[in-house]
Amino acid sequence: MSDIPGKFISLEGSEGVGKTTSLNFIRDLIESKGHKVLVTREPGGTPLAEDLRATLLANRKEIIEPDAELLMMFAARSQHVKQAIMPALESGTWVLSDRFIDASYAYQGGGRGIPFERIAELENWTLDGFKPDLTILLDMSVEEGMTRTRQRGKPDRFETEKMAFYEEVRNAYLLRARRDPERIHLIDASPDIETVQRSLQSLLQTICFAKN
């Protein structure tokens, strides 16, 4: 990534942690430093990947098998990286993504029980070592996150799981953060918005803006 002019930041976290609010704050902060920003999401980010997103999130009678879910996630991700993320970075644009590779380890690995080794094989094949420069993990208790989620509109397929699913998702995220502390930085998302945003600003100033 050092030879690519733009920076790639992913924002991770389970349901209800406030990713959308934080995403908008981070975008505004980066733009205030004079950088162009592409805000994107996973699954999604290109027309084909958005079609796969709609399939993955739709509530349906047919059960989507965990392996099928994982493969669709990586199909969308491969398209996303090659058609949207890499061209933006190479042009000097910063990319800010609502979720990326760590979400697969959390949701399909932790939540669905797919071995991390199998996910890593797909990661190595499709991404060939490509990772975000910085990953911000917003974390809070599952109970608080789901309370916030239930106050929103109609839930999608991932928002209707049992509490044990979200506990495993959170545990997998925290494990990823412990294993890759240089890239993944934990932010407590449970305080008020102003406190969370101060933490985000401090992190970005230290990691991304110190030499810019």
pLDDT above 90: residue 188: yes
More confident residue, 152 or 103: 103
- pTM here is 0.92
Task: Return d(Cα 133, Cα 130) in angstroms, integer.
Answer: 9
Q: Annotated binding residues for ATP, as ranges? A: 13-20
pLDDT above 90: residue 91: yes
Report, as an integer, the average pLDDT of 155-169: 84
Query: CB of 103 within 8 A of CB of 42?
Result: yes
Report, as an integer, the average pLDDT of 137-144: 92
Q: Domain 8-209 falls in which CATH fold?
A: Rossmann fold (3.40.50)
Q: Annotated binding residues, as ranges? A: 13-20
Query: CB of 45 within 8 A of CB of 132?
Result: no
pLDDT above 80: residue 212: no
Task: Return d(Cα 198, Cα 105) in angstroms, integer.
Answer: 28
- pLDDT category at 1 given cuts 50, 70, 90 is very low
Report, as an integer, the average pLDDT of 106-132: 97
pLDDT tens-place string over residues 11-25: 999 988 999 999 999
What whole-number percentage of the chain has pLDDT above 70?
A: 97
Which residues are paired to 8 by β-bridges?
95
- pLDDT category at 211 given cuts 50, 70, 90 is low
Tell how far CA 47 is from the center of its chain: 19
Mean of the per-residue pLDDT values of the chain? 93
pLDDT tens-place string over residues 26-71: 999 999 999 999 999 999 999 999 999 999 999 888 999 999 999 9
Which residues are paired to 32 by β-bridges?
none
The residue extents of the domains of the chain are 8-209
